[in-house]
């Protein structure tokens, strides 16, 4: 039987994504920083938070690793925090969880999503996860026991601003203010777009620093 590795980073993609867009990010975590990584995929449109928390919980149990970190891009970060704060006793948080980093995650709501909702079939395209956890039950405070760091983009270029008037600064999809959740451990801004957060070697480096030290580097 294969022995367990020491540290694994589980990367969770955002709305409508299957994880391919996270390939370069994961490659750098492995080759530049020595992490083992796993790509988690979930149904962002047709399943809600209860089903997705249950499935993430079951998936984490299959990973042979001494420590597991979570990195979520956009809606993936929302799912990661909802998992940490889930109050279902039958699905307790895995004791091996280390730290969590959210990249451009609309933790307190999304004006872009609210604007998209006004379009014909907007609710169907956005799906249950967005409706239940960003539009209707957005978090007001993080109350989990695990360290959470948030990296927000501030280069305002993206399609999200077509659907709503985003507060500045924003990354073209999510406003920086929508990523500031009371109770998180650390927060930083970078001059990148929403998608650019996954393409930046600097963001990978800051993610790694937080996973290992519980704070972002000031360098």
pLDDT 10s digits, 186-217: 999 999 999 999 999 999 999 999 999 999 99
* Contact criterion met (CB below 8 Å) for 184 and 144: no
| H helix intervals, the chain | 23-31, 49-61, 75-84, 111-117, 122-130, 201-213
pLDDT the model gives residue 122: 64
User: How far apart (Å, rounded) are the C-alpha atoms in residues 146 and 104?
Assistant: 19
Share of the chain above pLDDT 70, in %: 84
**Angle between helix 75-84 and helix 122-130 axes, rounded to 10 deg:** 30
Residue 43: band (very low, low, confident or very high) from pLDDT cuts 50, 70, 90: confident
Whether residue 161 is predicted with pLDDT greater than 60 in this model: the reply is no
* Contact criterion met (CB below 8 Å) for 135 and 113: yes
pTM: 0.91
pLDDT the model gives residue 23: 96
Sign of CA dihedral 179, 185, 191, 196: negative
Residue in 29, 126, 46 with CA at minimum distance from that of residue 55: 46
Q: What is the per-residue pLDDT across 100-136, written as a single tens digit (0 to 9) for each?
A: 999 999 999 888 777 666 666 666 666 777 777 677 7
Domains and CATH numbers, the chain: 5-213 (3.40.50.1820)
pLDDT the model gives residue 124: 67
Q: What is the per-residue pLDDT across 133-154, written as a single tens digit (0 to 9) for each?
A: 677 778 899 988 899 999 999 9
Average pLDDT across the chain, whole number: 87
């Amino acid at each position: 039987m294969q022995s367990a590795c020491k540290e694994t980073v589980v990367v969770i993609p955002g709305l409508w994504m299957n994880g391919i867009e996270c390939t370069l990010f994961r490659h750098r975590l492995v080759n530049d920083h020595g992490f083992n990584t796993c790509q988690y995929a979930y149904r962002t449109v047709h399943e809600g938070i209860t089903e997705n928390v249950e499935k993430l919980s079951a998936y984490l149990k299959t990973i042979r690793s001494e420590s597991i970190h979570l990195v979520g891009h956009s809606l993936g970060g929302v799912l990661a925090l909802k998992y940490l704060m889930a109050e279902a006793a039958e699905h307790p948080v895995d004791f091996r969880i280390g730290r969590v980093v959210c990249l451009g995650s609309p933790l307190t709501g999304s004006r872009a999503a609210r604007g998209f909702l006004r379009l014909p079939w907007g609710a169907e395209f956005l799906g249950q996860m967005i409706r239940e956890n960003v539009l209707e039950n957005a978090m007001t405070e993080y109350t989990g026991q695990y360290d959470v760091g948030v990296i927000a983009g501030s280069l305002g270029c993206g399609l999200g601003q077509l659907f709503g008037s985003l507060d500045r600064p924003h990354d073209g999809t999510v406003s920086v203010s929508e990523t500031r959740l009371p109770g998180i451990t650390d927060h930083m801004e970078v001059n990148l777009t929403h998608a650019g957060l996954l393409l930046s070697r600097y963001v990978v480096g800051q993610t790694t620093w937080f996973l290992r030290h519980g704070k972002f580097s000031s360098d």
